[in-house]
Amino acid sequence: MAKKRKPEQKKIRLFPFDHVIYTLRVPPEQFHAWLYAGRVRQRTNDQGLPCIDEDDLRILANSADVRAAATEWFRRSLAMNSARNDENERSGKNAEYWAEIDEKIRGYGEHIRTLEKMHASYHD
């Protein structure tokens, strides 16, 4: 008599929290608030990292409030970067940065010319 096969269990795909936060582009605090509110279930992968499963990720990815949170975080990031860039421009840090880059490019050019001379001497 043939043995009955056990039905194959679908392997649950787990995604670490930091990957989910990066993928959804939401603030970590907001993600953890959703976790504590019970919107997603915390699981643990083989390495012991806190994760969520694929179904919960799909629900979050298609959620309007997740899109709104990501949009708001993006707006705040733009505002902070804009303010930082304005401050760097006023303080002269941008000019210092570009001068440093130019100096490094000149230095690398000298190294390349030295290497080209060495290489040419081997071919003579």
Whether 119 is in a domain gets the answer yes
- Do 64 and 118 sit in the same domain of this protein? no
- Do 74 and 23 sit in the same domain of this protein? yes
pLDDT per residue as tens digits for the range 19-60: 999 999 999 999 999 999 999 899 999 999 999 999 999 999
| 24, 66 Cβ separation under 8 angstroms | yes
Collapsing DSSP states into helix, strand and coil, what is residue 51?
strand
Range of the domain at 120: 92-124
The pTM for the full model equals 0.60
- Do 35 and 87 sit in the same domain of this protein? yes
Cα gap 23→57, rounded to integer Å: 10
- Do 85 and 119 sit in the same domain of this protein? no
pLDDT per residue as tens digits for the range 68-103: 999 998 888 888 888 888 888 888 888 888 888 888
Task: Count how many domains the chain has.
Answer: 2
- Do 83 and 102 sit in the same domain of this protein? no
